[in-house]
Amino acid sequence: MSNKDYVIDRIKNSVVSNDPWKHVVIRDFMPPSLYENMKKEIITLESHACLKNKNTRAYHIYVNKSVNVYPDTGYLKEYYDLFLDEDIRNEVLKKLDLTEQPLPKDFYSEANFITQDYIYDEVHPDRSDKLVTMIHYLADEGDDESLGTFLYTPYKDGKTLDVFKDMVSSTPYVGNCFLMFAPKDTKECRTNHCMGNNSKKTFVRKSIQAFWIKENADWTQDRQSGRNRI
Ligand SMILES: [Fe+2]
Q: Give me Rg for the CA atoms of the chain.
A: 17
Domain extent, residue 166, equals: 3-216
Is there a domain that residue 230 lies in?
no
Neighbours of 19 (CB within 10 A): 9
Max CA distance (Å), the chain: 47
Span from the CA of 2 to the centroid of ligand 1 (angstroms)? 31
CATH of the domain at 148: 2.60.120.620
**Per-residue pLDDT at 44:** 84
Is there a domain that residue 106 lies in?
yes
Span from the CA of 216 to the centroid of ligand 1 (angstroms)? 19
Query: Three-class SS of residue 218?
Result: coil
Number of domains in the chain: 1
**Per-residue pLDDT at 115:** 95
Is there a domain that residue 121 lies in?
yes
**Per-residue pLDDT at 214:** 97
Span from the CA of 78 to the centroid of ligand 1 (angstroms)? 25
**Per-residue pLDDT at 54:** 94
**Per-residue pLDDT at 222:** 75
DSSP run (H or E) holding 75: helix 74-84
Is there a domain that residue 58 lies in?
yes
79, 177, 179, 203 from 13: Cα distances, Å: 20, 14, 14, 33
How many Å apart are CA 215 and CA 66, to the nearest integer? 9
Contact criterion met (CB below 8 Å) for 144 and 206: no
Those residues of the chain that have pLDDT short of 70 are none
Span from the CA of 158 to the centroid of ligand 1 (angstroms)? 11
